[in-house]
Amino acid sequence: MVSIRPFPLVAALLVLPTITLADDDHRDPMAILKSATDLIKSADAFTTEFEFAVKVGLPGLEHGRYARYDIAVERPNRFVFLRTDGDLGATVVSDGRQLIEYVAELRQYTENEAPKSLDDFSASITGMMLIEQGLGGFMMALLSDDPVERLTSNATSSEYVAEEVIDGVACHHLRFIQPEWDINLWVTAGDQPTIRRIRPDVSKQLGEEEQEAGFSIVISLEYTKWNFDPQLTDESFAYTPPASAELVEQLSARMPEAPVPPIVAVNPLIGQPAPKFALVELGGDKAFELADVLGKKVVVLDFWATWCPPCVEGLPQLVAVAEAFKDKKVAIYAVNIQEDPETIQAFLTDRELDLQVLLDAQGAAAQKYEVSAVPQTVLIGLDGRVQLVHTGLPANLKAELTESINALLNGEDLAAQQLEESQNEGQSPDDPASR
C-alpha cells in the first residue's frame, strides 16, 4: 500500500516564488514557456495532480484511455508517480535508493537502483514508458534540466495563439511547430505561471484517407493543483506493491510483442438482446430491418471502412465465410461506417468482393453496437442475443468465424460461457480491462 503523507494539494499555489515576465515577453511563446519551467526547475520540491488522456476514432465513434496521477517530487532523486485512476500507465516510486515500477494490469513490479537525478530519470526508458508508447516523454520533459529544450528542440517556429480560459483561469495558448507533430501548450497567466495543459497535435501522422474520413487522435496532458512548497517526509516516498503482485526482472518479459485479441471479447452487449436498426443496402433504396432476420438466422455484422487496412485484409475472409454458409441459417453483413456509396462500390469492384453491404451513413448503428475501432465483428445467435463481439483482425478470421457460427447453429450459448469465464476470473462484463 502507498504510504504518502497527504499531499497539500488543496493548499497548492499558496506559497510560490514570483516570476515576472518583461513587458516584451508577454506574447513571446519561448519566454512564457521558460518562465513556467523555471518555476519547476527552481523548486526543491513540488506536488501536482496530473491527468493523461488519449481519444481515437471517427467523429461520434471515438474511444479512449486515460490515467490520473498524484505526483510528488523532491530533488535530487525522490519522486512518486502514483496512478490513482484509469487504465493507462504505471506507478513509479523512488525513495532515493530504490526505484519501484508497478503495472496493475500485469500484476507485476520491478525493483531497481534509483536514478541519480530527476534529469536521469526523465531521459530513461522507465520514465518514457511511464505511459506506454513512449508518451510519458511529454511529462518527463518537465523533470529534465532543460525542459524548454526537451519540448521544443525540433521546433521550426512558434506562435502565440491567444489568451484562453481553462476552468476559470486565464492561460496563454502557445504553439510550437515541428516537422512530425506540433505541440500546443497552455501556461497560466499572472506572476506565478504554471504549465496547465499540453496537447501534442499528431494529425501530420495520419494518412490522407484517414484525414478525409475525419479520423482523429487527441492526446491531452492536464496539470492542476501545483504546490511548490509541499511538506514531504520519508513516508511520502515509501511504497509497497500489492501482495498479489509478482516481482519480475523485466515487465516486458510477460507482455507479447504483437498482441492479437481473441475473437471472443467480453463486452457489455454480450448476452443482451441485439440492438435493432434500419439501414439502406448498398445499391438499394429500401431500408434493411435487422428485426426481420433476428431469431431466424445467425447474424454476423462486420463494421468496417475502406481506409482501414485490417478491414481490407479481413473482407476476403468474410466473403469466404459467407459463401460457405450461404445455404444455412446465416446472414452476414458488412456494415460500412460513414462513407459514400460511390467510394464503397468502387472499392468492392476494384477488389472483386461480393458482399451484402449496409450503409451506416450517420454512424447510428455503430453507436448502438459501441464500435470503438474498426474492424469490429458482432455475432448474434438464433435467440436474438449478442453472442460475440471482437474488435480488430484476428490471426485467422475465417477459421474463428466458422467455428463460432457452427457453435451457434448447434445451439451453444457462447455468451453464457464468456460471462461465466469472466466471473471465474474476477472480471465484470463491463470492466474496461476485460474488453
The tens place of each residue's pLDDT in the chain, 435 residues long, gives 232 233 222 222 233 333 444 445 568 999 999 999 999 999 999 999 999 998 887 776 767 788 899 999 999 999 999 999 887 788 999 999 999 999 887 889 999 999 999 999 988 877 777 776 566 777 888 999 999 998 888 899 999 999 999 999 999 999 999 888 899 999 999 888 999 999 999 888 777 777 777 888 888 999 999 999 999 999 999 999 998 889 998 875 434 333 333 343 367 899 999 999 999 999 887 789 999 999 999 999 999 988 887 888 899 999 999 999 999 999 999 999 888 899 999 999 999 999 999 999 888 898 899 887 788 999 999 999 999 998 778 878 999 999 999 999 999 999 988 888 766 654 444 443 333
Residue type present at position 75: R
CA distance 419 to 266: 7
Torsion of CA 245, 246, 249, 254, to 10 degrees: -90
CA distance 117 to 42: 15
Model pLDDT, residue 133: 56
**Distances from the Cα of 24 to the Cαs of 27, 29, 310, in angstroms?**
7, 11, 52
Q: Do residues 412 and 388 make contact, with C-beta atoms less than 8 angstroms apart? A: no
Residue type present at position 312: V
CA distance 69 to 89: 10
Cell of 67: 490515467
Domains annotated on the chain, with CATH: 2-254 (2.50.20.10), 278-434 (3.40.30.10)
Model pLDDT, residue 434: 39
Model pLDDT, residue 17: 38
Instruction: Quote the DSSP letter at residue 240.
Output: -
Predicted TM-score (pTM) of the model is: 0.59
